[in-house]
Structure 1
Amino acid sequence: MKKTFSGNPVFPGWYADPEARIFNNRYWIYPTYSAPYDEQLFFDAFYSDNLVDWTKVEGILKQDDIPWAKRAMWAPSPIERNGKYYYYFAANDIQSNEEVGGIGVAISDSPEGPFKDALGKPLIDQIHFGAQPIDPHVFIDDDGQAYLYYGGWGHCNVVLLNEDMISLGSFEDGSTYKEITPDRFIEGPCMIKRQNVYYFMWSEGGWGGPDYSVAYAMSSSPLGPFHRVDKILQQNPEVATSAGHHGMLQIPETDDWYIVYHRRPLTETDANHREVCIDSLSFNKDGTIEPVTITFKGAPYTPLEK
């Protein structure tokens, strides 16, 4: 019997920090493998033609492919440009500028990889404005300018990516890094654009606790300012806890949106026991976002037009 909804979680296994994309007329989810940092040394990906049936692609990027990565690879964010796929990720969980690690970028000819390190070193390897270089999120605006948002420790920065997608550009004032931290930001930035409004979203609370959640801001510019509006994703004590660190999917040619996120089942106490889920996200007439209802149902059967 054909499934009519994905169900939550959308696929088995402990995964977190999902980024959601449409590549080559196919839905993709790129998550972190959720495990202790010394075991979190590879990335898998999942694809679907209909949001319901998901296929796993194992090991699209591994520690062996990244000469400078030693531990804790997480929070992937891929994007396509000029026929290539660029995959941004965090590695090594650096705590100071003396350590090797930060945000890397890998490249592939296809969305399923394999991805290979593009630089032989991190793209961002220093702590600027107090932001730990983790949790990258890449966004290309309608004018073709690419932005990379990132940050932990309660600070968020944005940088410009050059056309090659593996080097950093400069802002009009000559600077490379710009701090855009909204109120209560912790980590996990995410950006979408809808009807000429930039929606900047982020995770609040501690990722290991039940209160992990997502809030958002609205702006007329991809650089902000971003003033916190409200929380839009959080735990439901009857469904799951620790709902956060998400990506977004828009069904092409529609105003139908889905939030892809991780949460912790009520039966689990291990911080790394997280699973990837998907639920509907809606906008009010004034452009604000309605709070998301987290479900066990997930997303409906939604094939992409071929």
Structure 2
Amino acid sequence: MLKLIKLKIPAAIAPTVIAFAFMGTASAQNSAKSNQTKTETASPKAPNGKHYLSQPLIKSIYTADPSAHVFNGKIYIYPSHDYDAGIPDNDNGDQYAMKDFHILSMDKIGGKVTDNGVALDIKNIPWAGKQLWAPDAAFKNGKYYLYFPVKDKHDVFHIGVAVSNKPTGPFKAEPKPIAGSFSIDPAVFTDTDGSTYMYFGGIWGGQLQRWKDGKYDANGSKTDLQQDEKPALTVKVAKLTNNMLEFSEKPRDGVIVDKNGKPLLGKDHDKRFFEGSWMHKYKGKYYLTYSTGDTHFLAYAIGKTPYGPFVYQGTFLEPVQGWTTHHSIIEFKGKWYLFYHDTQLSGKNHLRNVKVTELIHNPDGSIKMIDPFVD
């Protein structure tokens, strides 16, 4: 992105991240293919000389932001569908101009991955303007629900929902966004008691910082609040109604605190929430996982309730190749897996590919660190 030279990037990965950030900018400026779908051949080695821990699940299209779920004993992945719109990189994320969703499915980890085609197109969302960003899905009441952020006709992100009788769609969008929704990256979690919650929000291009006073401020900060000594912006959480189409309450902050119970601060860039939240439950505890954004980690915090507060524990994925980090975590046949993305196929920040690797909870409940590269 244009401000990458100011970012905090770990020394071990900095050359790779910066190199690919500027490759992405140059590509977007010079691209002659505005509707690129077919991907390049995967490179066996990364620019840092190491091998990739995992290989792309699919190479026929670019996919990112994978929200994985197990429905009826099968894995379904709900990713963003990247393509090259020829838009230069910027901090608003205009280069991420996605316009439809393809749903992937697989019977087992390591097995064949099927692209089930277009499940929802932006042209079939009545209130949508542009930028169909990272989705998630849920199952309840015999139906499947696809949640998605998209900018409305006034360039403001809200979250919509579409419904289908099948996990692969096609999905029919509701005529209006979810009332009270804003920003990006919906992640839907159903607890063991049947209650369902949505976690959402993302700063910078995700506009969360423009809602700090409860109303959208078009002239608000373009990045974050830039108040280092005050509590950092954090993920929003709201319980859904039983019909899965509405919030049953006003969204509240899922506060992330340190081990002394104090909220993480704006200056805590290696720890604080940026975007891409996910919730999973392990041994009765609620694991909020999320991206630190401009420092490129996946981090986690643990709470006693779905609302938190969530006590920061550390990071569990080192920076991948590329700028963004967005993930999901599922349990499948007795093991846990992390779905994530990088830019192995393209080397361009806005053209990503989905991957999967095993995730391990240590005996003390911590998550084992994952390095996306191996020697």
TM-score range, shorter chain: 0.7 to 0.9
CA distance in 2, matches of 1:93, 1:20: 26
CA distance in 2, matches of 1:101, 1:241: 24
Partner of 1:281: 359
CA distance in 2, matches of 1:113, 1:267: 28
1:257-306, CA deviations, whole angstroms, 9 ceiling, x for partnerless residues? 010011122971x320211111111011110111113258xxxxxxxxxx
CA distance in 1, matches of 2:354, 2:316: 17
Secondary structure in structure 1 of the residue aligned to 2:242? coil
1:217-246, CA deviations, whole angstroms, 9 ceiling, x for partnerless residues? 01111111012111111226xxx3446210
Amino acid at match of 2:315: K
Of 272, 287, 290, which aligns to 2:350?
A: 272
| Change in 2 beyond 3 A, CA 1:295/1:48 | farther
For structure 1, the residue ranges without an aligned partner over 5 or more in a row are 1-5, 128-132, 171-175, 297-306
Partner of 1:248: 329
Partner of 1:194: 282
What is the identity percentage for the equivalent residue pairs of Structure 1 and Structure 2? 33
Of 44, 47, 63, which aligns to 2:102?
A: 44
Partner of 1:145: 195
| Change in 2 beyond 3 A, CA 1:267/1:54 | closer
CA distance in 2, matches of 1:167, 1:273: 32
**Structure 1 contact 85–110 (Cα < 8 Å) conserved:** yes
**Structure 2 contact 255–308 (Cα < 8 Å) conserved:** no
Secondary structure in structure 1 of the residue aligned to 2:326? strand
Q: CA deviation at 1:86?
A: 0.6
Larger Rg computed on CA atoms: 2
CA distance in 2, matches of 1:91, 1:181: 25
Q: CA deviation at 1:32?
A: 0.3
Secondary structure in structure 2 of the residue aligned to 1:75? coil
Amino acid at match of 1:224: G
CA distance in 2, matches of 1:205, 1:39: 19
**Structure 1 contact 234–244 (Cα < 8 Å) conserved:** no
| Change in 2 beyond 3 A, CA 1:290/1:242 | farther
Partner of 1:68: 127
Q: CA deviation at 1:251?
A: 1.2
Matches within 5 A, 1:1-306: 8-12=55-59, 13-35=61-83, 36=85, 37=94, 39-51=97-109, 52-92=111-151, 101-118=157-174, 120-124=175-179, 133-153=183-203, 154-170=233-249, 176-182=250-256, 183=264, 184-206=272-294, 211-235=295-319, 240-242=321-323, 244-252=325-333, 254=334, 256-265=335-344, 268=347, 270-294=348-372
Task: Give the structure with the higher percent strand.
Answer: 1
Secondary structure in structure 2 of the residue aligned to 1:279? strand
1:183-240, CA deviations, whole angstroms, 9 ceiling, x for partnerless residues? 310011100001101100011123xxxx42210001111111012111111226xxx3
CA distance in 2, matches of 1:125, 1:134: 13
CA distance in 2, matches of 1:33, 1:57: 13
CA distance in 2, matches of 1:178, 1:125: 11
Q: TM-score, structure 1 length as denominator?
A: 0.81
CA distance in 2, matches of 1:191, 1:58: 27
Q: CA deviation at 1:8?
A: 1.0
Q: TM-score, structure 2 length as denominator?
A: 0.67
Partner of 2:89: none
| Change in 2 beyond 3 A, CA 1:66/1:30 | same
Task: Give the structure with the higher percent helix.
Answer: 2
Aligned-residue Cα RMSD (Å) equals: 2.2
Secondary structure in structure 1 of the residue aligned to 2:135? strand
CA distance in 1, matches of 2:341, 2:290: 13
**Structure 2 contact 345–352 (Cα < 8 Å) conserved:** no
**Structure 2 contact 279–289 (Cα < 8 Å) conserved:** yes
Question: How many residues get paired?
Answer: 267
Q: CA deviation at 1:99?
A: 5.0
For structure 2, the residue ranges without an aligned partner over 5 or more in a row are 1-52, 86-93, 204-232, 257-263, 265-271
Q: CA deviation at 1:180?
A: 1.3
| Change in 2 beyond 3 A, CA 1:126/1:143 | closer
**Structure 1 contact 214–234 (Cα < 8 Å) conserved:** yes
1:36-70, CA deviations, whole angstroms, 9 ceiling, x for partnerless residues? 45741100011011222101011101112211112
Partner of 2:11: none
**Structure 1 contact 74–91 (Cα < 8 Å) conserved:** yes
Secondary structure in structure 1 of the residue aligned to 2:98? coil
